[in-house]
Amino acid sequence: MTSDIALDAGTATAKIALAGPDVSVVPSSVPAGDWQVRVSGALAAAGLSSSSADAICLAVPEAWLDASVAGTAALETLRQACAQGLGIGRVTWTGQLAAVAAQAAGRHGPGRYLVCDIGASGVRTAALDVTDGTVRILAADHASGGGWRDFDASVRALCPGGELPADWYRLAMDQNQERRARALFSRVTSTPGLRESPVYTFGECRLLTGQVADCFAPTGERVLAGAERVLGGAPADIAVLTGGLGWFPLASLVLAETAGITPVTEEPAAAARGALLFARGTMRLVPSADLAPVTLPAHRVRHGRLEEVTVPLPWAEPFARPADGPLVLDEPELTVDIDGQRMTVPLPGLAPGPCVVGVRSGWSGSGALVVRPAGGPGDAVVAALGPVIASRR
């Protein structure tokens, strides 16, 4: 069996990271859709089968880790595809930006990180506290649109007729092109005349500084707004750019404008590499504060008599493991005790019968309840629990 496997569940590609003498990252362009197909395809691209993977750590959007109903349901769909669909024994998870921060901390040390990922379809930003062994998500933001696909389409429209090379962005990373672009973009605001200066030249196609800056403007607005929201006026010690447009000079300049420090750039595979640190146990994701104990009052029949029992719902495991097997629910609702406070949680759509029950903690201090039929098909029902921070008594 293979251990220490991480999967970056990206929008455009899924990336598998494998431990070894040198960490290898294998991208997979399996189309979006069924997660079981996508994960199986990503494993196959890395030369693995699901039967050879006994554990995997998933790097997922921070929005899936906020204990919202939508985010928790998305995480559970992927977790279920790996655990039940592919038979992977242990499935853990972390945030994609948390994984990037963990990877960057290997070179830049602990501190408060601002991470900005300009991905295929949007811009995601997070503020995180990183120590030698932990990552804590402080705030996260996601803005749809303005990703590298939109930017690439806008740039291509400047050179109609196929004049722009298919891999123009790779050519733009050439040292001479990159140096010129950085110099022009850094001065174009203070020297408007530079807007008409060619910033990139590819054969007959010349891209002007002002044109490319205008193409990037929607992305830049999202970078600025996201960074301001997650920082909330607090400084960052290290700023990190990653994703498909992490290399672009204007991205660095815009992020530096709001962070007050020059960002470092991490490769698009940074989330997969960082998630491998969580798979190994070198890093772990910690909650925003102490989590309250959550228990489930239940009944069991023992020696012909009905007994009351208390079933703990551990935060560190996907589901509780009652000694007597799966819980049997008679109604589409569940009563739980959170730090001694009892509440009844509606579970609309859940069919009566044996179920597995678990809790998920969000980085903002909220929690969610996850209930799904035991041992069979069926989507999980997710319900919000609200704040789950332990009281100081």
Domain architecture of the chain: domains with CATH: 5-102+269-285 (3.30.420), 148-265 (no CATH), 294-387 (no CATH)
Q: How many whole angstroms separate alpha carbon 344 and alpha carbon 336? A: 6
Distance CA 279, CA 273 (A): 10
Exposed, middle or buried, 46 (CB in 10 Å: 0-12/13-18/19+)?
buried
Place of tokens 């992927």: 78
How many other C-beta atoms are found inside a 10 Å radius of the C-beta of residue 154? Answer: 17
Nearest Cα residue to 55 out of 87, 100, 13: 87
Specify the pLDDT at position 306.
64
Using one digit for the tens of pLDDT, what is the confidence trace for 279-312?
999 999 998 788 999 999 987 666 566 677 889 9
Asked whether the predicted pLDDT for residue 392 surpasses 70, the reply is no
Counting residues of the chain whose pLDDT is more than 90, the rounded percentage is 68
Residue where the block lists tokens 């500084």 = 209
The DSSP secondary-structure symbol of 194 reads: G
Residue 377's pLDDT is: 65
**Residue 240 and residue 274 in contact, taking contact as beta carbons nearer than 8 Å:** no
- Give the count of beta carbons closer than 10 Å to the beta carbon of residue 226: 26
Model pLDDT for residues 103-118, shown as the tens digit of each residue: 999 999 999 999 999 9
pLDDT tens digit string along 150-204? 999 999 999 877 688 888 989 998 888 899 999 999 999 899 999 999 999 888 8
Question: What is the per-residue DSSP string for 355-383?
Answer: EEEEEEE-TTSEEEEEEEETTS--PPEEE
Count of CB atoms situated within 10 Å of the CB of 349: 9
Q: How far apart are the first and last CA of the chain?
A: 46
SS3 content of the chain, % helix, strand, coil (to 5): 30, 35, 35
DSSP state of 189: T
**369: Cα within 13 Å, side-chain hemisphere:** 28
- If DSSP codes are grouped into helix, strand and coil, which group holds residue 44? helix
